[in-house]
């Protein structure tokens, strides 16, 4: 594994993590009737956590380079690493109110799992069609020779 590849994965993870956090903040602001404000320390912790969560998903995504593992196992490994980090961060930062019982934690877990799967499918389809286009270009070049 080349260092530049790992750095690119870390950068992508940080970007996606912060992007998702920004979208969540926008949605919370739009969907709540009350005036919403986030203090600086809480926002700083949330930004740092979103970067760490993004790193967990992106670095665990390197498992796809391990071609001897079946795709379902690769996905499972990435989801356990990413969602585990997300759930731990959510509990530590209070994104999920544990004083209200386990229902909010279970609901949060289900929602984030669904969101993550949809997000993963989007990346998968993008990569699939990119590979398909590259293969078509290679085939066309080989025919011309």
Three-point CA angle 8, 9, 15, nearest 5°: 90
Listed residue (50, 52, 55) closest to 20, CA to CA: 50
- For residue range 59-101, list pLDDT tens digits in order: 998 999 898 999 999 999 999 999 999 999 999 998 998 899 8
pTM: 0.82
- For residue range 93-103, list pLDDT tens digits in order: 989 988 998 89
CA 34 – CA 32 distance, rounded (Å): 6
CA 10 – CA 99 distance, rounded (Å): 34
* Chain centroid, CA 51 distance in Å: 10
Cβ–Cβ < 8 Å for 90, 108: yes
- For residue range 94-140, list pLDDT tens digits in order: 899 889 988 999 999 999 999 999 988 998 999 999 999 999 999 99
HSE of 120 in the Cβ direction (CA atoms, 13 Å)? 21
Which residue, chain included where needed, has tokens 């984030």?
Answer: 112
Three-point CA angle 39, 45, 47, nearest 5°: 100
């Amino acid at each position: 594994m080349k260092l530049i590849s790992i750095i690119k994965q870390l950068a992508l993870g940080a970007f996606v993590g912060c992007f998702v956090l920004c979208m969540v903040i926008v949605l919370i602001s739009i969907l709540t009737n009350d005036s919403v404000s986030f203090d600086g320390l809480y926002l700083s912790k949330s930004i740092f956590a979103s970067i760490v969560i993004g790193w967990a998903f992106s670095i665990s995504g390197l498992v796809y380079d391990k071609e001897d593992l079946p795709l379902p196992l690769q996905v499972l490994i990435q989801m356990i690493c990413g969602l585990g980090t997300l759930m731990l961060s959510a509990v530590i930062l209070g994104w999920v109110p544990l004083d209200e019982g386990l229902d909010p934690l279970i609901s949060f877990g289900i929602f984030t799992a669904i969101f993550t799967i949809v997000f993963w499918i989007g990346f998968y389809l993008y990569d699939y069609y990119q590979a398909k286009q590259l293969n078509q270009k290679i085939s066309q070049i080989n025919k011309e020779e």
